[in-house]
Amino acid sequence: MKLKWMVLMVVLCGIVMVGSANAVSLEEIQAAIHQKGAAWTAGENEIWNKPTSERQGLVGTILQRKNLPAFSTQKSFQTLPPSFDWRNSGVVTPVKNQGACGSCWAFASVGELESLAVMNVGSVGQEYPDLSEQFLVSYNLSNKGCRGGAMDRAAEFLKQFGTPFEACKPYTATSKKLPLPCSTWKEEAETIESWSYVPRTVEDLKAAVYQQPIATAYLVYTDFYSYTGGVYEHVSGELEGGHAVLVVGWDDANQCFIVKNSWGADWGEQGYFRIAYSQMANEVEFGTDSVLYKSEIPSWIWLLMPSTRGWTDF
């Protein structure tokens, strides 16, 4: 009996030691940033302070890697400005918070559709559309709700069914299907006409973002949770999972993309982060499964919207 207990204690101690070896502290991340000369800062924030299990629950995107670079294809890109940011044109809807649910794939997908709605209407004095992420989380059955989803499956769902306004199916941060959406969801649901992949290169992604904000995916490592500002590049930590976000611009001077996250406005740079171009070609795989939507939003859509938020002219 004593021998069995000794064996059990050795196994448990081994598990604890392995866990400790794989863990990374804030001080270790800060030291790695300094050592590698990275241009970003790490610190305590609402996401970093969450228990490990809760943090891992935020990264729920399934990377399928279907938009690999087409190295053999010769392309001529239009001349793009050295920096660009859709926020300056009032096109990007406010930062949201996915809460304790791996629904980032739905937030990034809906975020792109919301920006399209703003761009297609383009009328002074109107309001930001607030479309329902929960509709995708609950009813996009080819994805896994709070346990994750793929960008192409979300795009196909938006093409076939679309999504209504937030008030029709409010966000609950669960995969539950009940209560059902409002009875008029079919009439007010906004769809996309078509979608296509954006090849995973810096120039391809910039060219796509110049048309509209683009939903994309990548791999999150532990150090990313501690991001508080600057141009992120992976320096330390273990792989946590796949994540989806909305690319809204770029800055050649700092060699980075400008990105909208769905972890609330208190994380990062008021809910946004900047990420180095170099992270497209390393283990982070930024720009994976980027999707470009095409959609025509009819002007009568605004008649269904509650008067709560304003947006600026562009």
DSSP calls for 115-164:
HHHHHHH--TT-----B-SHHHHHH-TTS-GGG-B-HHHHHHHHHHT-B-
Instruction: Give residue-wise pLDDT tens across range 94-152.
Output: 999 999 999 999 999 999 999 999 988 764 345 789 999 999 999 999 999 999 999 99
Residue 302 reports pLDDT greater than 50: no
Residue 16 or residue 89, greater confidence:
89
Confidence bin at 312 (pLDDT 50/70/90): very low
Q: What angle do CA 91, 96, 98 make, to 5 degrees?
A: 140
Give the pair of three-digit tokens for residue 161.
């069914």
pLDDT recorded at residue 72? 42
What's the mean pLDDT in 51-68?
Answer: 92
**Span 185-201, pLDDT tens digits:** 999 999 999 999 999 99
Active site amino acids: 104, 243, 261
Mean pLDDT of the chain: 87
Q: Does the pLDDT of residue 7 top 90, yes or no? A: no
What is the pLDDT at residue 70?
55
* Lowest mean pLDDT across 16-20, 177-181, 218-222: 16-20
